[in-house]
Amino acid sequence: MSAARPLSNLQQELLKLYSSDIGETDLLNIKRYLASYFADKSIQEADKLWDAKGYTNDTMNQWLNEDEPKYGNKDSH
């Protein structure tokens, strides 16, 4: 048996929500908000990487037009 870990601050806040009866509209809005938040955060991190690597729109166009990309899993075709 593994040792119990304390709940994160996010888990604690979500548990507070669970104790309330939230309507479907509010629940849907919360889901959208969380999805948007994490999507924006991911985009920001990708932008940092993009800038650090010196990628440009030309880089993306080159990748999109390659017959055999030099990245990713070649077996997934």
CA distance 16 to 4: 20
Check: CB of residue 63 under 8 Å from CB of residue 69.
yes
What does the block give as tokens for 76? 């997934």
Of the candidates 45, 42, 46, 13, which has an alpha carbon nearest to the alpha carbon of residue 30? 13
**pLDDT-based confidence at 74, cuts 50/70/90?**
low
Residue 71 has pLDDT above 70, yes or no: no
pTM above 0.75, yes or no: no
How is the chain split into domains, by residue range?
23-66
Mind listing the pLDDT tens digit for each residue in 31-63? 999 999 999 999 999 999 999 999 999 998 988
